[in-house]
Amino acid sequence: MNHLAVFVAILIVALLLSILKINISLIVTLIGMTGSIFIVPPLVIASFKRIENQGLDTFYGSHLTYVVIFLLLYLMCDFLFQAVQPVVSSFLPFGY
């Protein structure tokens, strides 16, 4: 079975659990999102068929993918924090 299909199935199950308002849906969603972000890209890189094996290209491609993922997550969290910070600081009595 395709690895991407497994995580899509997990996310569909999480959607059904959230529609049914079952509390475990958040955990299932986090498992599906984490898997799709961190496990699927290296598996896709490793699944490319090459005529010649040229060393550690799959290894370097996987690590470069992880670096890009962490960089994008950092930038998105930083942007989100800057957008939410004025709202949160207005609610805090001691300031921020």
11-46 per-position pLDDT tens digit: 899 999 999 988 888 898 888 888 888 887 777 777
Segments in 1-96 forming alpha helices (H): 3-19, 25-38, 40-47, 57-91
Q: What is the pLDDT of residues 54-72, one digit of tens each?
A: 666 777 878 888 899 889 9
Q: Model-level pTM? A: 0.61
Instruction: Give the Å distances, CA to CA, from 36 to 2, 81, 84.
Output: 12, 24, 27
